[in-house]
Chains A and B, each alone.
Chain A
Amino acid sequence: MIPALLLMLGIGAVCGIVLSLASKIFYVYEDPRIAQVENCLAGANCGGCGYAGCSAAAAAVVSGKAPANICIVSGKTGAEAVAKVMGVEVGNAEAPLSYNMCEGGFRAADKYHYMGISSCKAMAVVFGGKRVCGVGCIGLGDCVKACQFGAVSMGPKGHPVVDEEKCVGCGACQKACPKNIIEVKTLSERIMKFNQKYDPLAPCAQTCPAEINIPRYINQLREGKYKEAVQTIRLRNPLPLACGRVCPHPCETECRRGIEDEPVSINQLKRFVADYEMNSGSRIPIKCAPDTGKKIAVVGGGPSGLSCAFFLRRIGHQVDIFEAMPKLGGMLRYGIPEYRLPKKVLDWEIQGILDLGIKAFCHVKFGVDFGLGSLMAAGYNAVFLGVGAWEDFSLGIEGENLDGCYTGINFLQRISGGEKIKLGRTAAVVGGGNTAVDCARTLLRLGLDKVYMVYRRTRKEMPANEVEIVASEHEGIEFVFLAAPTRVVGDDKNKVTHLEYLKMQLGEPDKSGRRRPEPIPGSETLLAVDMVISAIGQSPDASFKNQDPQARMKELELTKWNTIDNNPATHQASIPYIFTAGDAATGPSLVVEAIGGGRRAARSIDLFLKGEAVEPVKDSLQKKRIHESIFTKVDGIKQTPRAKQPELHVNERLDSFIEVDLVLPEADAHKEAERCLNCCRICYNPDTVFPMAKKAG
Chain B
Amino acid sequence: MGDLFVLVISCIFINNILLAQYLGNCPFLGTSKKMETAIGMAMAVIFVLVLAGALTWIINEYMLKPMDVVYLQTLSFILVIAALVQFVEMFLKKSIPALYGSLGIYLPLITTNCAVLGVCLINIKEEYTFVESLVTSFAYAAGFGLALILFAGVRERILLARVPKPLQDVSIGLITAGMIAMTFMSFKGMV
Contacts and interface: CB of A to CB of B under 8 A. Distances in A.
A593 B80 CA distance: 70
Interface of A: 3-4, 7-8, 11-12, 15-16, 18-19, 22-23, 25-28, 45-47, 50-53, 55-56, 118-122, 142, 145-146, 176
A307 B109 CA distance: 51
Contacts of A28: 93-94
A12 B161 CA distance: 50
B83 A15 contact: yes
Interface in B27-50: 30-31, 33-34, 37, 40-41
A186 to B, nearest CB: 22
Given A7-B69, A7-B72, A53-B108, 11 more contacts: A7-B76, A8-B75, A12-B79, A19-B83, A23-B90, A26-B93, A26-B94, A45-B109, A52-B41, A120-B160, A121-B160
Interface in B65-122: 67, 69, 71-72, 75-76, 79-80, 82-83, 86-87, 90-91, 93-95, 105-106, 108-109
Contacts of B34: 47, 50
B33 A47 contact: yes
Interface string B51-69: 0000000010001100101
B162 interface: yes
Given A26-B93, A53-B106, A19 B86 contact: yes
B6 interface: no
A26 B86 CA distance: 11
11 contacts: A15-B82, A15-B83, A18-B87, A19-B90, A45-B30, A52-B40, A52-B105, A53-B105, A53-B108, A55-B108, A142-B160
B75 A22 contact: no
B60 to A, nearest CB: 12
Secondary structure at the A interface, as helix, strand, loop or mixed, is helix
B162 A8 contact: no
Pick the 3 closest A-B CB pairs, nearest first: A15-B83, A26-B94, A26-B90
Secondary structure at the B interface, as helix, strand, loop or mixed, is helix
Contacts of A11: 59, 76, 79-80
Nearest to A50: B34
Contacts of B182: none
Contact of A53 (B63, B69, B109): B109
Given A8-B76, A50-B34, A52-B31, A26 B95 contact: yes
A148 to B, nearest CB: 9
Contacts, number: 84
Interface residues of B, number: 35
Contact of A15 (B67, B79, B93, B108): B79
A52 B33 CA distance: 10
Contacts of A50: 34
A22 B91 contact: yes
A511 B83 CA distance: 83
A22 B85 CA distance: 12
A7 B67 CA distance: 9
Contacts of A120: 160
B127 to A, nearest CB: 21
A47 B152 CA distance: 13
Contacts of A26: 90-91, 93-95
Contacts of B37: 47, 52
B175 interface: no
A23 B87 CA distance: 8
A25 B90 CA distance: 9
Contacts of A51: 105
B90 A118 contact: no
A479 B91 CA distance: 88
A55 B80 contact: no
Contact of A19 (B72, B87, B95): B87
B4 interface: no
Contacts of A12: 79
B83 A4 contact: no
A142 B83 CA distance: 44
B174 interface: no
B159 interface: yes
A51 to B, nearest CB: 8
B105 A56 contact: yes
Contacts of A27: 94
A140 B69 CA distance: 62
Most buried by A among B87, B106, B160, B162: B160
Contacts of A145: 159-160
Contact of B162 (A22, A56, A118, A176): A118
A143 to B, nearest CB: 10
B160 to A, nearest CB: 4
A22 B90 contact: yes
B67 A3 contact: yes
A27 B94 CA distance: 7
B106 to A, nearest CB: 6
Nearest to B38: A52
A329 to B, nearest CB: 52
B160 A119 contact: yes
